[in-house]
Amino acid sequence: MTDLILETKKLTKEFLGFVAVNAVDLRVERGSIHALIGPNGAGKTTCFNLLTKFITPTSGEIFFNSQNITSAKPAQIARKGIIRSFQISAVFPNMTVLENVRIGLQREEGTSFHFWKSDASLDKLNDRARALLAEVDLLEFQDHITSSLPYGRKRALEIATTLAMEPELMLLDEPTQGMGHEDVDRVTRLIKKVSAGRTILIVEHNMNVISSIADRITVLARGTVLAEGDYATVSTNPAVMEAYMGTADAVLQGAHA
């Protein structure tokens, strides 16, 4: 039997009569990298917002570890271990890289509002923070002011602060958006590296990224599931190619939505 960490059943969201997400059945296997892709307006971000309860479903159900979380609040979702990268990674630009990760660790420990404590009392978190920075190849930047980091390194720091919350399921929303080729390659390798022993659900436009790291792909179009499977399966699906490129004869490899 498949070990599902996340499942949606007929998940639907309507906005004033417009159906943004329409009866979506999503099944994410534990330990996998599962990609959610589709053309602009397909409903990917709305789906993410439903899963993290930033918005409430019109109908349908959401299950996490077989538990119905459809009516849970965003803070409850986070405590259960579903962490979306930007939820806790709006990094503090005038603090050091190490301090940013340490704040993520404080939140996990429930000490996030103890800012009146001396820095010395937080030193016990430094070793854990440095281990996380090493995991995302940022240890050499630990004393740098965050605002001075290149864009790609800031996204790596976001992943580190997400990992500080010890997520059971990481939701990454277009982690390579706006990056140059070198940063895309670095962050792609980083996602693959940190996926070991974790589950990742990712929205990503870059097909080269998806083809290199995704175990399973769900394709959305106009709010409904158009296709599902591995990259070889979905990239040769005529309906998927038509949705992306306007023709079933197009080649999906390298295409951007």
| Residue boundaries of the structural domains of the chain | 1-81+167-252, 91-166
What global pTM score does this model have? Answer: 0.87
The pLDDT of residue 93 is: 86
Q: Which CATH superfamily is domain 1-81+167-252 in?
A: P-loop containing nucleotide triphosphate hydrolases (3.40.50.300)
Q: Kindly give, in sequence order, each residue whose CB lies less than 8 Å from that of residue 33, ignoring residues fewer than 6 positions away.
A: 191, 192, 195, 199, 200, 202, 213, 214, 215, 216
SS3 115: coil
Listed in sequence order, the DSSP H helices in the chain are 44-51, 74-80, 85-88, 97-109, 126-135, 151-164, 181-194, 207-213, 231-235, 238-245
157-210 pLDDT, tens digit per residue, is 999 998 988 899 999 998 888 888 888 999 999 999 999 999 999 998 888 899
Over residues 129-166, the pLDDT tens digits come to 999 999 999 999 999 999 999 888 998 999 999 898 88
What is residue 96's DSSP assignment?
A: B
- The pLDDT, as a whole number, for residue 130 is 95
Give the largest Cα separation in the chain, rounded.
Answer: 64
26 — phi, psi (to 5°)?
A: -120, 135
State whether residue 102 is helix, strand or coil: helix
The pLDDT assigned to 1 comes to 61
Q: What phi and psi values does residue 23 have, to the nearest 5 degrees?
A: 55, 50
